[in-house]
Amino acid sequence: MQTPAAILVDINRIVIDTLTLPPLKPGQVLIEVKYSGVCHTQVLEYRGHRGKDPYLPHCLGHEGSGVVVEVGEKVEKVKPGDAVILSWIKGSGANIAGSIFDWKGQKVNAGAITTFSKYSIISENRLTPIRNDFPMKEAALLGCAIPTGLGVVFNTAKPRAGESLAVFGCGGIGLCAIKGAAIAGCVPIIAVDIQASKLESAKQMGATHVIDASKEDPIQAIQKIGPLDYAIEASGHPAVMNQALKSVRSQGGTAVIIGNAKQEHFWSLDPKELNQGKRILGTWGGDNHPDVHYPRYCNLIHYGQLNVKPLIGKSYSLSQIEQALSDLEQGHTLRPIIDMSAP
Ligand SMILES: [Zn+2]
């Protein structure tokens, strides 16, 4: 089996070429990828911001949707023809380490999940089957952006109806957190960003207030609205993490950090914030259990409670992957989607 794939060969250098896939190991599944999302994690890998990369050259991508082509021995979760979500977050099923693909005699590492290719070999536990009539473009974002953004609200912060919540950074994950807060009954819901277009999307996802942090101090602006119970930081900048912590109320306000900072970008904070009874929470991608939580998120979309169209960005072909990464990095698009059927 051969596939076109995006291969990260060095920092800032991706080659699109044909790879040969090895036979399936027990617990692995051959997937025809339909759509892949592009996430800031791949931007960090592409730019070398995650530190030394011992896996080069390697495949990329950790959220997508596809159809099962073939299953390895002992796979019970899916069968050929099933529509599936491809997600980096581990669920039930075999946990099989990555494969090595062949590139004209050279080895290319592929992790337990990679999605920037027409076909991919994926560990059973990174797959979640979905109804076959589910829209596949939306399904791709169920691999990372949607569960991370909804999960950080539903599973990590767990606000109650009527509590106030602010989201700092309105990319794909931040917008999903805003929608999650709206579904959970939070009011007010305050969106903070430095791009007017993202704040516009935030309103569509349920923000009741928007703050342009390039024009006003977000901490002061939030205080004018009222005491803040939860701040969710989804920008990855340590300075913004400080703003999130400073903006929540004393005695019980909680800042949740979800943004990925660049390698060696550290956060120094004033411990007095903690002496005031504020709390900081981390989250493992929204603390999801895919087998339990993804079907719920699918229900929200299927029954019209969650419209994710405002966060779907521009569509790209696989050969335009570097353009997609740079557009995401520069904020020219929301979540880019790689359409594997595009020429
Ligand atoms: Zn991601």
Q: What is the pLDDT of residue 263?
A: 82
What does the pLDDT read at residue 311?
83
Distance 105 CA to ligand 1 centre (A): 30
Q: Bigger pLDDT: 52 or 154?
A: 154
Tell me how far the alpha carbon of residue 283 lies from the centroid of ligand 1, in angstroms.
13
- Determine the pLDDT at residue 65: 98
- What is the mean predicted confidence (pLDDT) over 186-213? 96
Assess if CATH 3.90.180.10 describes domain 2-143+308-339: yes
Question: Taking residues 230-255, what's their average pLDDT?
Answer: 97
Q: How far is CA 128 from CA 25, 49, 308, in A?
A: 19, 30, 19
Q: Calculate what percentage of the chain has a pLDDT beyond 70.
A: 100
Give me the mean pLDDT over the 297-312 stretch.
92
Confidence (pLDDT) at 32: 98
Is the pLDDT assigned to residue 97 strictly greater than 90?
yes
Find the 38 Cα to ligand 1 centroid distance in Å.
7
pLDDT interval class at 309 (50, 70, 90) = confident
Measured between alpha carbons, how far is 107 from 234 in angstroms, rounded to an integer? 35
Ligand 1 centre distance from Cα of residue 61 (Å): 8
What is the 57 CA–ligand 1 centroid distance (Å)? Answer: 20
- Mean of the pLDDT values across residues 282-310? 94
Residue 62 Cα to ligand 1 middle (Å): 6
CA of 43 from ligand 1 middle (Å) equals 10
As a whole number, mean pLDDT of residues 176-187 equals 97
Q: Which H or E run includes 336?
A: strand 335-339
In the reported structure, the alpha carbon of residue 262 is separated from the centroid of ligand 1 by a whole-number distance in angstroms of 14
How close is the Cα of 250 to the center of ligand 1, in Å? 32
pLDDT-derived band of residue 264, with 50, 70 and 90 as boundaries? confident
Ligand 1 midpoint to CA 260 (Å):
10
**∠ CA 320-323-325, rounded to 5°:** 110
Please tell me the distance from the alpha carbon of residue 25 to that of residue 289, in angstroms, as a whole number. 24
User: What value does the mean pLDDT of the chain take?
Assistant: 96
Residue 102 CA to ligand 1 center (angstroms) comes to 26
d(CA 113, CA 137): 18
Q: Please, which residues have CB within 8 angstroms of residue 81's CB and are 6 or more apart in sequence?
A: 67, 68, 132
Distance 259 CA to ligand 1 centre (A): 11
Cα 188 to middle of ligand 1, angstroms: 27
Q: What's the CA gap between 263 and 138, in Å, rounded? A: 31
Token look-up 């800031």 returns 40
- Cβ–Cβ contacts within 10 Å for residue 72, how many? 18
Q: How far apart, in whole angstroms, are the C-alpha atoms of residue 334 and residue 332? A: 7
CA of 342 to the centre of ligand 1 (A): 22
What pLDDT, on the 0 to 100 scale, is given for residue 51? 85
Helix H or strand E encompassing 280: strand 279-282
Over residues 115-137, the pLDDT tens digits come to: 999 999 999 999 999 999 999 99
Give the model confidence (pLDDT) of 7-35 as tens digits. Answer: 999 999 999 999 999 999 999 999 999 99
CA of 87 to the centre of ligand 1 (A): 9
Q: Tell me the CA–centroid distance for residue 140 and ligand 1, in Å.
A: 11
Q: How far is the CA of 89 from the centre of ligand 1 (A)?
A: 9
Question: Which CATH superfamily groups domain 146-282?
Answer: NAD(P)-binding Rossmann-like Domain (3.40.50.720)
Which residue intervals of the chain bear CATH 3.40.50.720? 146-282
Task: Find the 39 Cα to ligand 1 centroid distance in Å.
Answer: 5
Centroid of ligand 1 to alpha carbon of 172 (angstroms): 9
The residue among 134, 128, 103 whose CA lies nearest residue 113 is: 128
Q: How far is the CA of 160 from the centre of ligand 1 (A)?
A: 27
- pLDDT the model gives residue 147: 96
Helix residue ranges per DSSP H, the chain: 40-47, 136-141, 145-151, 172-184, 196-205, 218-225, 238-247, 272-275, 290-302, 321-329
Give ranges for CATH 3.90.180.10 in the chain: 2-143+308-339
Please give the distance, rounded to the nearest whole angstrom, from the Cα atom of residue 308 to the centre of ligand 1. 16
**Per-residue pLDDT tens over the stretch 314-336:** 999 999 999 999 999 998 888 99
